[in-house]
Structure 1
Amino acid sequence: MNEFPQVATIAGTDSGGGAGVMADLKTMQARHVFGTAVVVAVTAQNTLGVQDFMAMPTKLIDEQFASLAADLDIRACKTGMLADAEHVHAVVENLKRVDFGPLTVDPVMIAKGGAALLAADAIKTVRDELLPLATVVTPNLPEAERLTGQAITSNQAMVTAGHALQGLGADNVIIKGGHGDNPDLANDFVLLADGTAFWLSAPRIDTVRTHGTGDTLSACITAELAKGRSMAAAIKTAKAYVAGTIQDGIQVGHGHGPLNHWATPSEQVIVHDA
């Protein structure tokens, strides 16, 4: 009954459908796994920004975890928006109680439109309590800077930050370079648990339709891990999938539009040795 790959997203909703739990579930469906959710927060959000949000009572978070664990065979999970230190801690305690397989941590801090999605005092909780549980962590450049306390202004700085994140407890690291200043390529640095390192590059697309890229990348990694793929293969597939969702875009909303989760993975992603 529970043989089909099942995964969980532990995150906030996006009423506009482009990010958070909504993007995660669309990605999981597209990657042929069964997605479930622990909703940590609910947002009033669209492509123009985040208008409001409310975190769930921690008791309800506990009950959602218990409900999934009692019935489903969760083979991999991911975290996204976790709101504040209290809710990060609640998620950490639940992850210690259940076996939901490999954990992908997407350390969501700021929405595409600039709204804060993680309280400033929660960054330390993510760093000290959540990262040591992470099978893989997927920060963008600003998030990696906040977690490591290091400015990241070059490829070498990305490498240094990757090792610093491993030092904080994450087994595997992918630092997303979408915020970098390379006008032609989006370069991501990957550092695996065995010390293997490589770069993933995809052509940079001139578009505002990139809302939910981090959620989609981490959800795709989670789905691939649940299917038994290696970490390196899961990360490469996720990069290609996200590149495809941007290249084959759709027009929705008036601001930072969502990705096209129906897209097929791009064949333009290049792997470079580090």
Structure 2
Amino acid sequence: MIRQRLFRYAVYRNMFLSFILLTAAMIALVTVVLFMMFSWSTAKEVGKISESMLKQNSAVSSVIRDQVYNVGNLLLSDKEIVGVLLDKEADPVKQYGVFGTLNRIQSTYPFIHSIGIYNGSNNTYLNTKGITKDQEKALLEEINRKNTSYFHLFPRRISSATSANRSEDVLTFVLLPSYYSPLSSKGAIVINMSTDTIQDLIGGYRNEAVDSLHVIDDKGTIITHSDRSRFMEDISQESYVQSILAYGQGERLFHPLH
């Protein structure tokens, strides 16, 4: 009976079509609302996770920086080390004693790859890994050019002391004591930190919701990444990196270690 009326009377057909269209519209509206609520909730959750990881990365950066300052202060509290930094002429006996002190300090901090003492006045360089002045030529030239602050960071690859064909990834922290004290402006403390240590700290925050974790410096160079092969990769041309570098005229979403 109803079927026959649908075919015979236009009013019934219109009512039926209106019912179908209204039902479809309601389903579409409910679907859109649910999708928007789900997207908002997901974006909010991802935002919280990202913010949490960024805070953790920043905390790691602060811990590393504080440890480097602590080591630097410990070195500068040793009168023999200060003497080697100030000597106008190299004293092999004094340098030998300082070498032993540096090795003892390094063994106390497992995250330290090596410690170096540079005296530009007598052009000598001591390093606990046996890395020579010639191997560190590029770094020492950079040290002589940079004297505008106490603390400098250089992500780099250094030649192994045992094999010239083998390199090691390190974050090099250079402390210039003359910035805060009357010590010679040509003296510097070099603290090389193994990237493996930082990798372990940063990598511990990775989870299924994140493809990768990395920290960049203010030039867009990767200084640590969950993919170790990307160390020192220049990603400054990436659009999201350019946005980060431009954010707040100096503020960073990925916190550099300096």
TM-score tier after normalising by the smaller chain length: under 0.3
Max radius of gyration: which structure?
A: 2
Q: Which has the higher helix share?
A: 2
Q: TM-score by structure 2 length? A: 0.28
TM-score (norm 1): 0.26
Higher relative contact order (CA 8 A, sep 6+): 1
